[in-house]
Amino acid sequence: MLQREVVFPVPADRLWEALTEPDSLGGWFGADVEWDLTPGGIARFVGSDDGDRHGLVDDVAPGRRLRFRWWPDDDEEAVSEVSYQLDPEDEGTRLTVTERRVTPAPRPPSASASAVRWDGWDDRLTGLWLSARAGAPRPVLVAVAVSA
Amino acid sequence: MTTLDSDVVFAALGDATRRHLLEDLSRRGPLTATELARVHPVSRQAVVKHLVALASAGLLTSDRHGREVRYRVDSDAIGDAARWLAEVGTRWDHRLAALQRHLE
């Protein structure tokens, strides 16, 4: 799972508008976005560098959170789920973006998966991969030794 | 190339014994469960259970030679999961930087 957090110096409703209004999205998202912002609504992302995408809106709480699944037109198996969480702060609004791969047919989360803390593992896994690549002839996965 | 479900990978790596086994295999592998049980403070049966969890997450591959099963790290599979995280992360970094400018 990938996660990013940024605090923007604007109120939540202004951030929500930038995240959801097609006109605002054109100014930063890197694709033209058309979507029906209701659960089950269809989404379309066109003109991005990495290809056009279809999407499906799963959860909408205006000003607070949005969750949708999307996949490239040329690889319908590569489904991932994006969620936005908006939390008011003293100096603005914290946006937490997560994106994770999901299987095309959603399945219930396993007990073992939910018991793990994910924080920070994305960077560690990247470090692990880099050390695996750099360490010829045999990969030495240094990062695996770091305890959670 | 195997496509890993990153949540399954993280779940597999969420256990300290499994991380130690994976690390050992990456340094000395391929190894059998018996060889691993000799140097790790867990029973052979427990080692087998952990190896199966790591293999089903796509992190290990195994080869059978007669009665012996040797496990090795699948660094391509680990690379695939890490590459997904790196690519998707870069895209979000660009989008969020553009959003910051958009909101100024």
Higher model confidence: residue A71 or residue B11?
A71
CA angle A99, A105, A107 (to 5 degrees): 80
Question: Do the beta carbons of residue A114 and residue B14 sit within 8 Å?
Answer: no
A46 — phi, psi (to 5°)?
Answer: -125, 140
Lowest mean pLDDT of B13-22, B47-56, B73-82, name the range.
B73-82
pLDDT at A122: 45
Which of A13, A28, A29, A82 to mutate: most B Cβ within 10 Å?
A28
Residues of A in contact with B26 (CB under 8 A): 132, 138-141, 144
| Beta strand B68-73 pairing with A32-35 | unpaired
Task: Give the pLDDT confidence of A80-111 residue by residue, as tens digits.
Answer: 999 999 999 999 999 999 998 876 543 333 33
Rounded to the nearest angstrom, the minimum Cα separation between B16 and chain A is: 6
Candidates A6, A142, A144; nearest CB to B13: A144
Which of B26, B28, B76, B93 to mutate: most A Cβ within 10 Å?
B26
Task: Give the pLDDT confidence of B25-68 residue by residue, as tens digits.
Answer: 888 879 999 999 999 999 999 999 999 988 888 888 899 988 88
Tell me if A24 and B86 make a contact (CB, 8 A cut-off): no
Residue B8's closest CA among B87, B72, B92, B84? B84
Candidates A125, A133, A141; nearest CB to B85: A125
Rounded to the nearest angstrom, the minimum Cα separation between B8 and chain A is: 7
pLDDT at B67: 87
Question: Do the beta carbons of residue B92 and residue B84 sit within 8 Å?
Answer: no
> What span, in angstroms and rounded, lies between the C-alpha atoms of A68 and A72?
14
Question: Do the beta carbons of residue B76 and residue B34 sit within 8 Å?
Answer: no
* Environment class of A89 (CB within 10 Å of its CB; exposed 0-12, middle 13-18, buried 19+): exposed
pLDDT at A93: 95
Q: Given a cut of 60, is residue B74 above it in pLDDT?
A: yes
Higher model confidence: residue A68 or residue A49?
A68
Q: Which residue of B has its CA nearest to A117?
A: B14
pTM score = 0.63
Q: Given a cut of 90, is residue B73 above it in pLDDT?
A: no
In DSSP terms, A47 is beta-bridged to none
A2 — phi, psi (to 5°)?
Answer: -105, 140
Q: Which residue of A has its CA nearest to B11?
A: A113
What kind and span of H or E run contains A38?
A: none
Higher model confidence: residue A6 or residue A78?
A6
Rounded to the nearest angstrom, the minimum Cα separation between B58 and chain A is: 14
ipTM of the complex: 0.71
Task: Give the pLDDT confidence of A1-50 residue by residue, as tens digits.
Answer: 788 899 999 999 999 999 999 999 988 999 999 999 999 999 999 988 88
> What span, in angstroms and rounded, lies between the C-alpha atoms of B57 and B23?
15
What is the rounded end-to-end Cα distance, in angstroms, of chain A? Answer: 16
Helix locations, chain A, DSSP H: 12-20, 22-25, 111-114, 121-134
> What span, in angstroms and rounded, lies between the C-alpha atoms of A134 and A29?
34
| Beta strand A80-89 pairing with A92-101 | antiparallel
